[in-house]
Amino acid sequence: MRKAHAPRPSFAEEMAELLVGRVRLAAAITVAGTIVFEVADVVEGRISVALHAIKLVQLLFVVGLVWLLRRPVPRRLGIAITVVSVCVISLGAVGGGVVAYGADTTSILLTIITMTAATVLPWGLAAQAVLVAVSAAAMGFASPWMEMPDGMIYPAVALALAFAVSLYSAWLFNSIRFERWQAQSALFRSEERLAHEAAVSSALARVTREMIASLDQPVLLYRLCALTMEVLDARCSHTLLRNQHGDGWVVVSTCGHPAPVCDAMRGLVLEGDWLRRLSTRDAEGVTLAPAPPALAAHCKSASFICMPLRRGGEVVGVHLAGSAERSRLTRDEERLAGGIAGAASMALANANVVADLERASRLKSEFVSTVSHEIRTPLNVMLGFLEMVEDPEFETAERGELTRRIRTVAHDLLDLVESTLEIGRLEAGRDRAALERVDLPPFWRKLAESCGRFPCRQGVTLEWGPPPDVTLATEPKKLGIVVRNLVGNALKFTERGFVRVTAEVADDRLLLRVADTGIGIPFEEQGAVFEMFRQANGHESRRGGGSGFGLYIVRTFVAQLGGTVALTSTPGAGSVFTVALPLAAPARPAPGTPLLSPS
């Protein structure tokens, strides 16, 4: 940021400085006039000790005035010194009139002195009035001792008019100087505002330029902290993003501390009302808040400028700039902080879009590889079984067993193709839930029979609990796919123990649970398993097989049926998937009665 201009001097300060220069000009005029009159006296033959003494006193006062005002002094003191000196010069002119010149010449000298003072010296009406009063009083007092030529009435009238004009001139010139100072001050303030605007705009342009120059999030966040310290002159800067569960803020980047302190601060989880309130603020939401205890333990900033980072209308992070303790932000700081928040939000959104695109591309490649593998494996099995069937050495009974296995593998392959097609319908938005009333007990028995044919490892048992006698508002086909996918996944990833399927009613909702004693899912991967083409435990998932979109279908179908799905899991101990579905209304029409048409 460009520093502000030095404050403009006040009118009194400017006039005090101007007075120094003008006094020197008036002194030069006075010295020149004294020399001219001295030459004229010599030419006229006026040789008088008293007259020379008067001129010497005038010159001494002029020299003293210039010495006293060799540098600016307070305006009132400068004007007082100048008034005294000019009055002495005026009294000297009257004394010269008494000694040698007469009333007419003295009138001319007083006119010159008062008019010169009014036009040259920036001292205003009051000082000019003092000079006029002293000059008039001295002239009136000394008139009886002066030589009075005939027609003295005209010089007297001219002198009076000169006194009046000098008073008006002093007032007018002072008013003009004041108006000019006001205009220059307004121009100065306007230039200062423009300079501020230019500095703020330049700083914001630089922040935006550097923010959009990087798409790597760690680099972007570090540059954000460094730029914030520079632009806002902050002691330190930190960036916090919401954690996965949305109940805290994690320090992901920091700047302004020694490396060990920065390393210790990264990963800190902060909570607090002042952070939660940011998500409800309107506009830019820039606030000034005291340092939270978790950060105060590491940095010396007493307060923080808090800048919310938004994605649409949601606050996804907070950017902090540490500063000394104060009660409010300046207008420039609010603009800069708001601009930084906007630029950082936009840059983070761009980085997230690029990361999502890269992730989508990577998942697409993984999906093609996975599906290719899942299709190739059963095809190879089928071709192997067909070669065995064609072998004449096999007995009829053995060929029947091989045919059954070929049929099983073919059904698995068909399920894979149907799941892939189902994904396409879901993504295209052509799939709608057709809800109907379904009695749970008979539906549950059919599911048990279907899932009982799933292959499982030796030492693993499938336990199927009894259902409650309730009626659901659901689509049987989709609910069946949900349960079969959950049970099939559990059997694939359970090497020993059990897979337990239960159903119970709680809070007017049906809870379907599929629990297993399998490999489990790490906490940091639990949110990703419901995404399309995602599998947790990559190596273990490959051992269990699967295309990676079974749980995505589960989540989507459960949402269409008006329910929710939750996961709790411990690596090495197993997982529990809980599906919560709404019950049907109390009325019990015949099962199969549609509640909602597919349209």
What digits encode the pLDDT tens for the residues 483-532?
A: 988 988 888 888 889 999 999 998 888 999 999 988 888 887 777 777 76
CA distances to 142, 456, 461, 483 from 452, rounded to whole Å, are 137, 10, 10, 12
Same domain? For 274 and 406 the reply is: no
Please report whether residue 2 resides in a domain.
Answer: no
Write down how long the chain is.
599
In a domain, 1, yes or no: no
> Do both 349 and 376 map to the same domain?
no
Query: Rounded CA gap, 597 and 599, in Å?
Result: 5
Q: What is the pTM of this model?
A: 0.52
Collapsed DSSP state (helix, strand, coil) of residue 7: coil
pLDDT tens, position by position, 438-457? 898 999 988 888 888 777 78
Together in a domain, 440 and 325:
no
Statement to judge: residues 371 and 290 lie in one domain: no
| Residue 306 shares a structural domain with residue 320 | yes
Number of domains comprising the chain: 4
Shared-domain flag, residues 513 and 554: yes
Instruction: Please check whether residues 324 and 366 belong to one and the same domain.
Output: no
User: 304 — phi, psi (to 5°)?
Assistant: -130, 140
Candidates 85, 54, 47, 172; CA nearest to 122 is 172
Lowest mean pLDDT among 41-45, 79-83, 573-577, 587-591: 587-591
At which of 184, 209, 232 does a domain end? 184
How far from the centroid of its chain's Cα atoms is residue 66's Cα?
58
According to the model, what pLDDT value does residue 390 have?
77
| Arithmetic mean of pLDDT over the chain | 80
Residue 211 within a domain: no
What is the dihedral sign for C-alpha 92, 97, 101, 103? positive
Q: Are 34 and 124 in the same domain? A: yes
When mean pLDDT is compared across 109-118, 292-301, 568-577, the lowest value belongs to 292-301
Q: What is the pLDDT of residue 544?
A: 47
Q: Is the pLDDT of residue 589 over 50?
A: no
Domain span including residue 170: 11-184
Q: How far apart are CA 406 and CA 67, in angstroms?
A: 119
Which residue, 146, 131, 33, is CA-closest to 95?
146
- Determine the average pLDDT of the residues in 11-18: 83
Query: What percent of the chain clears pLDDT 70, i.e. is strictly above it?
Result: 85
Task: Convert the pLDDT of each residue in 73-125 to its tens digit.
Answer: 888 888 888 888 888 888 888 888 777 777 888 888 889 889 988 988 888 89
pLDDT for 167:
93
Any domain includes 201: no
Residues 268, 333 share a domain: yes
4 found inside a domain: no
Residue 209 has pLDDT above 60, yes or no: yes
- The token duo for 409 is 């593998």
Q: Is 596 part of a structural domain of the chain?
A: no
